[in-house]
Chain A
């Protein structure tokens, strides 16, 4: 069994707004193991970014209320650290890359200094040494002519190059955990492919665990070892990437997978999830997904589903897995995926 590096337990976060209290994260549990990539998938407003920003301690103090839970990094609760101690963890142990490389770099500072800044912050080195290390980092993320590029400003870089600079800053102190919040959403597919390749390569080089937040299931299939699906502030299903893609159990995961166009599902049309996510000002009673769920049972509207284990690594919060639940037929696309999964199991047994 690999070592757990991060444990998030029962995390509950709400925001105070003029309209009232928004329950953005409603009891989230997940673990991150050493050297793995965990993908968190969900729609906008599902709480995936908020949960990871809590891990980084980036949520505003004024109107955020962390109502409960623990974030254990190597056994230490990050929520209990004061700002000075958190500053030591942030950037050095846990680093982050944001979605928009345009707005997350300082436009008035050269790229070299921005990378060196994070090294100076956490290591006892001179500016000269820091700049040297920074240049090495810049080369590592695939920027050419590092010597002259160090003195360039962010606007002199293209979108993909800027994201490489962001990665260089994040990895400058060789953090244990890298949180990537939709790092490729703003990029073209060809550039996205390059950045993903780079992240995979650096992950093994520096031995970092990655939490990858995205809503693109294609990217998840490419990057993740394990996947967690989030809906309305809760995790609804999590498991290894194969379990999630070939044997999904939660109707929301079905919906997400079936609404992606693949080469095969063109004939029977795209499946859509009707409606839109609930307003978390007033979290719904029962299963938050029930009103949009074609497979909803009566109990879904009354009682929140428990988490049912599917395998040792695969869990899902849906009443459909209850022993007394009726058998339902998932969408055609999911059946196709399940067949693939069964074939794979058979192949494995034969070997």
Chain B
């Protein structure tokens, strides 16, 4: 590992998003969220539906404005971006790949128009010919034949549509990509294709990636670090191997124990751990927050619980060494 402190591509502090403020149906979708993403890494965000992971993604992409809190992206607070050209520059560097490959592509546009649109808006190409050449290159990059440029989204399968979606995101050469459940709607064999494609592209293009998903096994495969969300809160953040091998928060344990593995022997012995949400709803929340238990391994807990969790981590690592 290099000794230099790694540069942060994105830093979020005390982010809140509240819907229906003051009404009986008030929802705290994102609740005092703070985390950061290093430059060039893939950060996985997992959680059940309603945990606020997609809202977080939308806030980062500035598709929604946060109720309060700050999001720093390459040194700038994105809530303060007001000027047209500033927002445009921000949009160029931050792109999104969506969940539903069919719904997120305009059915009345050809692939050329879909992928080339961003290039034109940001003035990256001057002539039609240039645009064409770039779109062909992008199609090649995501493993599609350039002939497909004249086709419409309906002519593609789900996996191919998702490739078009990725090509569209990459067109403006962004430094940050948010993939919001980008593989959940796809078949297993196609999921592996898309995940491998994203991994390959990340190495070639060197962008930072926020990968939002509920499928924990794929998230582990693609991410460097993972954050576990529940009820708008981040309960545990750790490097992916650490999180899978030494989960500390009971919610993470329960989530991991619920994932079925493609292995009958393991399945026969699997015990599901159930989790009571009241566990992390502290009545008195002084001194409650994310504490670093091991290097880069943060857990949401009370300050008094830290020594206990440190001991738990030690026990788990020792156990792993013994095997």
Q: Which residues of A contact B (CB under 8 A)?
A: 43-44, 159, 188-193, 196-197, 215-222, 241-242, 245-246, 255-257, 259-263, 266, 269-274, 276, 340, 344
Contacts and interface: CB of A to CB of B under 8 A. Distances in A.
13 contacts: A44-B187, A189-B258, A216-B260, A217-B188, A221-B260, A221-B262, A221-B263, A241-B264, A259-B191, A261-B217, A262-B217, A263-B261, A276-B159
Contacts of A274: 193
Q: Is the interface of A mostly helix, strand, loop or mixed?
A: helix
A218 B221 contact: no
A150 to B, nearest CB: 26
A164 B229 CA distance: 25
A218 B258 contact: no
Interface string B255-295: 10111111111110010100100000000000000000000
B260 A193 contact: yes
B192 A272 contact: yes
Contacts of B91: none
Given A242-B264, A276-B160, 18 more contacts: A43-B188, A189-B48, A189-B214, A189-B215, A192-B258, A217-B188, A241-B264, A245-B263, A255-B189, A256-B188, A259-B191, A260-B192, A261-B220, A261-B221, A262-B263, A263-B244, A271-B192, A276-B157
Contacts of A217: 188, 262
B164 to A, nearest CB: 14
Nearest to B251: A190
A98 B192 CA distance: 26
A262 B261 CA distance: 7
B196 interface: yes
Contacts of A193: 257-258, 260, 272
B18 interface: no
Contacts of A259: 188-189, 191-192
Interface residues on B, range: 35 or more
B47 to A, nearest CB: 9
Q: Is the interface of B mostly helix, strand, loop or mixed?
A: helix
Interface of B: 48-49, 157-160, 187-193, 195-196, 214-218, 220-221, 244, 254-255, 257-267, 270, 272, 275
A340 B196 contact: no
B191 to A, nearest CB: 7
A269 B196 contact: yes
Contacts of B188: 43, 215-217, 256, 259-260
Given A189-B216, A190-B254, A190-B258, A43 B272 contact: no
A44 B187 CA distance: 7
B193 A272 contact: yes
A261 B218 contact: yes
B195 A270 contact: yes
A64 to B, nearest CB: 23
A32 to B, nearest CB: 19
A189 B255 contact: yes
A256 B190 CA distance: 10
Nearest to B244: A263
B131 to A, nearest CB: 28
Nearest to A190: B258
B221 A270 contact: yes
Interface-central residue, A221, A242, A344, by most chain B CB under 10 Å: A221
A272 B261 CA distance: 18
B230 to A, nearest CB: 10
A256 B189 contact: yes
A197 B267 CA distance: 12
Contacts of A191: 48
Nearest to B218: A261
A245 B189 CA distance: 16
B272 to A, nearest CB: 5
Contacts of A189: 48, 214-216, 255, 258-259
